[in-house]
Amino acid sequence: MVNVFTSDEMMTVATSRFIHEGQTVFIGTGLPMVAGYLAKATHAPNVTLMFESGVLAPEPRSIARAVGDPRLQSTARRVSGMLDALLLLQGGNVHFGVLGGAQVDAYGNINSSAVGGDGYHRPATRLGGSGGANDIASAAREFLIVVRHNRRTFVEKVDHLTTPGYITGPGSREAAGLRGRGPVGVVTDLGVFGFDDETKRMTATSLHPGVQWEQVAAATGFNLDRPTTLPTTEVPSTIELNLLRHQIDPEGVYLKAEKS
């Protein structure tokens, strides 16, 4: 029997597979949180989750609604504050981060500050800004981007560089003095993407079941590299789907109910 799953479930499972056993992972609310819970419940039981609010290593009994939710605090190994969380990050103690954004470009740079108009000071749309995203991208050993795939989001060059990926290409992060390796991948509702080791430009890694290359190309505002062999993303297992639906997010707080 073939598993039926939603787009959100596919994205969550694909994100969880980037999280490895023993890592310290900086995450936020939404699908990244669900992915962190799933990784901990399956292949990475000893992963340490941490949140910008200063919550470290929680063992939550139900899905949290925010990074400062008491559901996280009640079982955490440590609860301090944002300063401590960012100091741990800047001290090189975080292996992995998961980020979103309004725009992502070919080098994995993220804009979550201002879109369109006359630039940052007079944009068409003012957004929430960096939060801890710039810190994560700059200081975590590596990070993953999780976004919806469309031409508004995937642009040739971000309108404002909130969070650095590979900036302008090879050597740019090193020249800027950034400690972290940079983005290791991008997970969208269409597929999984990586970055070429030499050019640092985004390239396709796998397409989700039923997705065609033409869909991806049409939804991307820059020339996306396509490898000769492009596999299909491994589908969520029955165990993963049962965990998501019945234990991790049974009320559908973050995972939408419609089927793909």
- 124-174 residue pLDDT tens: 999 999 888 999 999 999 999 999 999 999 999 999 999 999 999 999 999
Domain assignment of residue 113, yes or no:
yes
Domain assignment of residue 255, yes or no:
no
Burial class (CB in 10 A: 0-12, 13-18, 19+), 127: middle
Q: 2 pLDDT exceeds 70?
A: no
- 29-38 residue pLDDT tens: 899 999 999 9
User: What is the β-pairing status of strands 125-126 and 96-99?
Assistant: unpaired
Domain assignment of residue 258, yes or no:
no
In 3D, which of 120, 118, 115, 117 has the Cα closest to residue 105? 115
Domain that holds residue 32: 7-247
Segment 75-97 mean pLDDT = 90
Residues in CB range of 42: below 8 A, 6 or more apart: 16, 239, 240, 243
Domain assignment of residue 257, yes or no:
no
Q: pTM for the complete prediction?
A: 0.94
Q: What percent of the chain has pLDDT over 90?
A: 75
Domain assignment of residue 13, yes or no:
yes
Q: 1 pLDDT exceeds 70?
A: no
Q: 82 pLDDT exceeds 90?
A: no
**Cα 211 from Cα 217, distance rounded (Å):** 11
**Cα 9 from Cα 150, distance rounded (Å):** 19
Q: Could you give the number of structural domains in the chain?
A: 1
Domain assignment of residue 77, yes or no:
yes
Q: Residue 260 — very low, low, confident or very high, per pLDDT cuts 50/70/90? A: very low
Which of the residues are catalytic? 52
Instruction: Give me the CATH number covering residue 234.
Output: 3.40.1080.10
Domain assignment of residue 106, yes or no:
yes
Domain assignment of residue 73, yes or no:
yes
pLDDT of residue 132: 87
Q: 202 pLDDT exceeds 70?
A: yes
